[in-house]
Amino acid sequence: MGGELKSTIDLVMERFGGGEEKPLTDEQKREIAEVRRIYEAKIAEAKIMLRGDENLPREIARLQREMEEKIEAIRSRGKGS
């Protein structure tokens, strides 16, 4: 065959442009750290305010999703620059 066979993961990464992310800038690292700090505080507050409430796991999951979306937005600003 002459060449190396590529794994499915390699093919998917090539197709969607993944695998070669630009390193984060110091500013992006600071912003991500700040987002994490804020959301860790929000999650801690929810654990206190909703202790024993059946909605606590849902609220924690919502906050974690929000945090990840904000972090991804910060990361994506660095791509293609």
Summarised one tens digit per residue, pLDDT across range 47-77 is 999 999 999 999 999 999 999 999 999 999 8
Largest Cα separation within the chain, whole Å, is 63
**pLDDT the model gives residue 19:** 54
45 contacts 28 by C-beta, under 8 angstroms: no
Residue 12: pLDDT over 90: no
DSSP state of 25: P
Confidence of residue 22 (pLDDT cuts 50, 70, 90): confident
Give the three-state DSSP class for 6: coil
Lookup: tokens for 10? 């390699």
**pLDDT the model gives residue 1:** 45
**Residue % of the chain over a pLDDT of 90:** 65
